[in-house]
Each structure stands twice: as C-alpha cells, then as structure tokens.
Structure 1
Amino acid sequence: MVVSQDRPAGMRPGRRQGLAVRARTALDALEHLIGGLGTALLALLATLWLALAAAACLLGVGFVLLPSALHAVRAVADRERGRLSRWGPEIVGPAPPDGLRAMLGDRAVRHEVRWMVTHALLGLFLGLVGATLPLSAAHDVTFPLYWSALPESGSTSSVGWWTVHDWPGAVAVSGIGVALVGVIVLCAPALARLQAWPGRRLLSPDPGTDLVLRVAELTATRAAALDAHVTELRRVERALHDGTQNRIVAVTVLLGAARRALARDPEEAAAVLDRAQDAAEQALTELRAVVRSILPPVLADRSLPDALTALAAGCPVPCRVDADMPARCPAAVEATAYFAVAEALTNIARHSGASEARVAVRVAGGLLHVEVRDDGHGGADEHGGTGLTGIRRRVEAHDGTLELASPPGGPTTLKVTLPCGS
C-alpha cells in the first residue's frame, strides 16, 4: 500500500471535527449552566421562604406557612428534575406526601431541602460564571473594533485590571478574549457537571422506585388493554346485532312470506325472494365489513404499507402514504398501527376540514413510527369523543407512546411509536 507524503494545507479534517464537537459540547454546557442559573434563583427564593417559615415557627405561626414553603421546595425540585432529565437520564419525582407530618418525615423532602440550599449557593455561583464568561469573551475579542470610541475610564478589559491607551493594548485585550474562549471550551462542561451533581445525587429516586413505577405503569397499561379489548368486543357485537342480525332476520321473514305466497301467487313469491336475496347480500356485505374491521385481509396477506395505501384510497380527503419498512413487524403491532391510522383518517374526514393528509411510516431502532398529518383547522381534543382515547389505550398496551399536536388553526399531527423488536 502506498501512502502519500503530501499533506493538505490547513487543519486536518479529524482535528476540525474534534474542535467542532468540543465547541458544541461547550455551547451545550453553557446552556445547561444558564438553565441552572434560573432554577438556582428559584431555589434561593424558596430557601428564603423556608427560612422565614422556620423562623416563624418559633413564634407559633410558622406551622401555617411551613406547608406552602415545602410545596415551593417540591415545585423547584421538580423543575430541576425536568431540566436534568432533558440533559441526561430521566429523574422521576416521588409521590407527594399528605400532611405536614408526612412532609417532615419524608426522606425525599429532606433531600430536596439539602439540594435547594446547595443549589441556591453553588448552582447560583456556577450559573453566574456560565453567564458572564461568554459576555466577557465577546467583550474582549471584539474590543479592538470599538475601544477608540470609549471614554478613557471605560477602555478596560473585562477583567478590569488595566486601562487601554493604544492599539497594542487593545490587541492584548483581544488576546485575553481568545484565552477566555479557550477556558470556556475546556472548563464549561466540567462546570455544568459540577452544577448538576447535587441534583443527580439528591433528587434521584431511591433504589427500587423505578421498578415500582414500572409495575404501576404495566398495571395501568394492562387495564387499558383489557378496556380496549372489551370496547372492541362491544363494537363487534353492536355491529352484528344492529346490522347483520337484522338483515338475517329480514331474510328469514321474507323467505317465510315467499313460502306462503308460493301457492297462491307465484309472481308475488318471486318478488319476495328477490327482496330476500338483496337482504342476504347486504347482510353478507356488512358481515365482511365487520370482519375487515377486526383484521383487514390485505394486512394479513400483504403488508402494513399496502393496507394503509388501501385505507388512504378510501379516505374522502386526498391522502398520501410514505412508507419505509424493510421488514414486517409483529402482527399485533401492525394491527395497532392500522387501527390508529384508520381512526385518525376517520377524524380527519369528519372533523378537520382538511384539504389533504399525509401518513408516514418507518421503522428505526426497533421502533415503528407512524405519523398522520393534515392541514385542517386543528383543535383536536383527546377528550372530545373523537376516538383518540381508544388509540392511546391500544398504543400504551404495547408500551408505545402517542403524541398529539393540534393547535387552533392547524395543522394537526398525530405521532404513534410502537416497539416492534426489529
């Protein structure tokens, strides 16, 4: 193998990519520090309120203020849990205790108070450092552009330990700004981790809490799956009782009438038989529709994209299907996805006023992603009797998730994610 000895001018691509990664990491860390500054200010206010309530307890009136102070502690702690969950592993908050005695005896509340005091001091300091370092760096790096327009008392660097009188001094201040940029790139991630460390340590749930929450979630999804199953059985029973059964009863009645009329009036009997045949065909059509609603044959025989294409072709609103599924998913998962799309397209046709819709299906990372979007007037409500609750129950029964975005004025986007193990 021959290796070229000629190196291209400039920085190597690998080094450029490494610097870009470090720069993005530093920017993320600064954003984290500034976000921590916000919760630190809230923690400082909550600390002062808790200290005031504790001091008032010596006068006997603090026991009225103490519950509100502890509720403020929990609110600030939950806000920090949400912030930390966006930057790393999710932190689940504990269940709120009932009553002042339970609050004072709750281990999680004591941890939250310790975190709040620590974050009000350390988190506030680190947040201020994270907020001022970029401003100081920007001030010094651009200092040669405007230093001559400043009054002599204001011609100083961000560190403020000398006054600039000439261009060499202005360039030196710019060098300090470049050094501050280097300090940000090197130190900001460590500062962000230090700021988050008390929250990760004190606000995380006790061992076993995740298992308890998982059991509770599985219990809820199992109950939802049973409810969805019962609802589906009732729908099938109602469809058979109100439609197919009535048609078959009509066929029986018409056949009896034709039998009685056969001897006295053959022409009338033939007409009654024609009506009976029509009723039997209608009953058969309704029965096929009920069977297709349980599991469409095209879904069982071919694939989910083909079934969704057939579903979109029958939608009154023009609908386009984009599918990226290199392999089949489990039948139960595909049936749930089909049901979700069918219900969503029904809602679009009935309620949205949309002119077009789009269905996107793809498999990535062992998950089946389904997105239904329309350009209607929006305002879809999960509790408005539009079938979205049924979709959520079916999806959650498979440990999936459902997200609905439907602002007034549109558009409406329904996203379903289902584990498919592929």
Structure 2
Amino acid sequence: MTVDWARRRAHAAVDALERLVGGLGTAILALATLLWVAVVAVLCLGGVGFLLAPSAARAVRAVADRERARLSRWGPEILGPGPLPPSWRDRGFLRELAWTVEHATVGFVMSIFGLTIPLSTVQDATYPLWWWLVPADAAPGLVFWSVHNQLDALAVGLYGVAWLLVGIFAGPLLARFQAWPGRALLSPPPGTDLSLRIAELTATRAAALDAHAAELRRIERSLHDGAQNRLVAVSVLLGAARRAVERDPATAGEVLERAQDAAEQALAELRTVVRGILPPVLDGRGLDGALAGLAADCAVPCRLDVDLPRRCAASVEATAYFVVAEALTNVTKHSGATSAKVTARLEEQRLKVMIEDNGHGGADESRGSGLTGIRRRIEAYDGSLTLTSPAGGPTTMRVELPCGS
C-alpha cells in the first residue's frame, strides 16, 4: 500500500510539472499578447491603433484557444466561442482578455515557481557532493547560512529534501490553481451556440452505428466461415457414421472420432467469437489483468505500466482492451520493433492509454493496418486518438476515453 501511494504521489508530481511547463508556454504567449494589446491601446490615443485593433483581438483569441486546447488535454473539453466578436464589448471576448492579463502575470509566476522547485531540489540535494567547488558565501538557492564544512553542506542537502516534499505535495495544487482561471474564464457562458458540439456528437453517433454494423458483419463472417462450417462437417460425419454402423461397423469409430474433432474445433471457434464480443478476462481480472495478458502474449517484449484505482464501464474497458490488442498486433506485424510499452491511467474521469514502440514508424491510417477501425471504435465512445509515427520511429498512440464515475 505504501509503495502504491508513493508511486501515485510521484506520478501526480510529474504530471503537475508537465502541466506547469505547458502553462509556462501559454503564459509567455499571453505576456507577449498583453504587451501587444498595451501597445495598440497606446497607439489608439493617436488614432493609429484602431487599424491594429483587429490584430490584437485575433492574438487574444489565438492564445485563449491555445489554452483551451491545453486544458482540454488534462480534463473536460473546453469549447471555443467560434468567430471573433464584432465588438470589444463582447462579454466572452472581455473574459478572454481578463484571462490574458491574469495568465500573463499570476499564471506566469506560478509556472516559474513550479519549475524552480525541481531545480532547487536537484541543486540542494546534491550540494554535499560539490560544495567545496564554490565560495562559502555562494550558497545555493534560498539557503540563508554559509557553508564552511561537510556538516553545513549536509544541511543544504536536507533543505533539498524539503524542496522535494514541497514539489510532491504542493505541485499538483499549484497546477490546479494555475488552470482554474482558464476553466472559469474561457469556458463558454450559458447560451453559447453549441452547434459545433452537436455536429461532433452527430458524427460520433454515426461512427458508433458504423462500428456496430462492422462488428456485426465481423461476427457474422466468423460464424459463417468458421463455426458453421465445422458444425456442417459434424452433421455430415455423424450421418456417415450412422450409415457406417449399418454397412461397415469397423469404420464407424474412426468417423465418430473425426466428428468429435470437428465439434471441438467448432466450440473453440465459438469461444473465439464470444471473446471477440466481450472478453471474459475483463470480468474475471479487470482491465489491468487483461492488459497484462496481452502484454505477456505479445511477440515483441512489452512493458506494462497500469494505474487504475477503480473499474470503468464495461464498454469502455472493452474498447481499451481491443485498442491495445489491435495496436500490439500492428506492432508485431508491421513495426519491426524490438520493444513496446503500454501505459494506462485513470485521470479526471478519463481513461488514458498510450502504446509505444521503437519500430521504424511511418504508420498511416490511409494504408490500413486496422488504424481506421481503432479510431472509429474510439470516437464511437466520444474518445480521442492521437497517433505520432514519424519515418524512422518511434510510434506513439495516445487514446483517451471518457470514464464517468
């Protein structure tokens, strides 16, 4: 339990650091945009700035949309308001401008402080190893005492451990506080036109119906080409055995044995079809256990990193299972990889799965390999798929599926 708790805390701290780094990027853009808005406002006093006002409005909207996309990757999606407003008096645009001011100042300071914590941790924790290389008056960071001997240096090292604890416990809170103004100010207000969202849901509903129809066709083909043929063979062999009992009893046993083999093969293929509909391993072992089985059976050495503190809906788990199974099949058949890794996390009501391999890359949905089917299955559950596969590799597939409580 202690090891799991420590692992979760460490993962949360790293996740928070990644968010703060992303927040620093948008904070720099917001700061540049704020400076440009200020310049345009000053120029407006002379009348020239009115010609530049549309560019300032577009800059504010662009950086706000960038922040919406960043926050949507770490939680519920934030929809944009669409085209620029005709007037700077538009309430939605004023909220974006207010966020730009806040994020360029307070958000920027939060990111800098959040990034200072791991740097101070490394610097102070390792200081006892190199303290004699610097002057006594040049103690690192916020150390308020002079370092004259090893004992003083060890005290600095303990200071670094304190910074580590601050990063582990305060980092996630800091990332949350930095994101809060964006979610409060950039979310669409009540009454916003949600036609884009309606169109998206319509498309995903159509994808769900297509995926359902394709799944039914796959099951029908499996039954027709496999189990049905086996059962027909069983029927034929049983008829031959019945006639052999009357004409040549010595051969009846051999015919019955062949009929039994055909029946066993039919049962095996029926089990395969059933597992293709909803794998029984998900009920017995959960998604983490099912993914462990896929990783163990993969022909390419596959590492597994799963942190799923609770179960998701059965349909979501089945989708994640099939996505990983198809992805590992592609890794084995097409990537030329020597290693793969599957990561699964449950974060903020979303199941996040990532499949990586060190193959030659170049994966392309237009060339098949089951990627189109994977995307349709994911989008049918209002999820998202991001595929990164440059020529020469590596290939990374990121999948997010909504998983409500």
TM-score (norm. length: structure 1): 0.57
- Name the residue aligned to 1:286: 269
Query: 1:207–1:28: structure 2 CA closer, same or farther, 3 Å change rule?
Result: closer
2: CA distance, partners of 1:39 / 1:291: 62
1:405 to 370, 381, 388: 388
Query: Does 2:22 correspond to 1:34?
Result: no
Aligned residues of 2:344 and 2:353 also touching (Cα < 8 A): yes
Aligned residues of 1:84 and 1:91 also touching (Cα < 8 A): no
- Name the residue aligned to 2:80: 92
Q: What is the deviation of 1:390? A: 2.0
- 1:328-350 per-residue CA deviation (whole Å, 9 max, x = no partner) reads 11111111111111111111111
2: CA distance, partners of 1:304 / 1:295: 12
2: CA distance, partners of 1:384 / 1:111: 47
Q: Which amino acid aligns with 1:32?
A: A
Q: What is the deviation of 1:287? A: 0.7
1: CA distance, partners of 2:351 / 2:187: 31
Q: What is the deviation of 1:212? A: 1.7
Q: What is the deviation of 1:351? A: 0.8
- The unaligned stretches of length 5 or more in structure 2 are 1-21, 40-50, 73-77, 91-100, 106-184
Q: Which amino acid aligns with 1:249?
A: V
Q: Secondary structure at the match of 1:229?
A: helix
Matches within 5 A, 1:253-332: 253-332=236-315
- Name the residue aligned to 2:357: 374
Q: Which moved more, 1:324-333 or 1:84-93?
A: 84-93
Query: 1:36–1:393: structure 2 CA closer, same or farther, 3 Å change rule?
Result: farther
Matches within 5 A, 1:110-125: none
Query: Does 2:219 correspond to 1:236?
Result: yes
Aligned residues of 1:39 and 1:80 also touching (Cα < 8 A): no
1: CA distance, partners of 2:311 / 2:262: 39
Query: 1:217–1:86: structure 2 CA closer, same or farther, 3 Å change rule?
Result: closer
Q: What is the deviation of 1:38? A: 9.3
- Name the residue aligned to 2:137: none
Query: 1:216–1:87: structure 2 CA closer, same or farther, 3 Å change rule?
Result: closer
1: CA distance, partners of 2:29 / 2:56: 23
Query: 1:301–1:368: structure 2 CA closer, same or farther, 3 Å change rule?
Result: same
Flag the structure with larger Rg: 1
2: CA distance, partners of 1:378 / 1:307: 26
Query: Does 2:378 correspond to 1:395?
Result: yes
Q: What is the deviation of 1:305? A: 0.8
Q: What is the deviation of 1:403? A: 1.2
- Name the residue aligned to 2:368: 385
- Name the residue aligned to 1:417: 400
Q: What is the deviation of 1:80? A: 5.9
Q: What is the deviation of 1:292? A: 0.8
2: CA distance, partners of 1:296 / 1:231: 18
Query: 1:271–1:224: structure 2 CA closer, same or farther, 3 Å change rule?
Result: same
Aligned residues of 2:26 and 2:63 also touching (Cα < 8 A): no
Q: Which amino acid aligns with 1:367?
A: R
Query: 1:252–1:28: structure 2 CA closer, same or farther, 3 Å change rule?
Result: closer
Q: What is the deviation of 1:225? A: 1.0
1: CA distance, partners of 2:68 / 2:301: 40
Q: Secondary structure at the match of 1:303?
A: helix
Q: What is the deviation of 1:262? A: 2.0
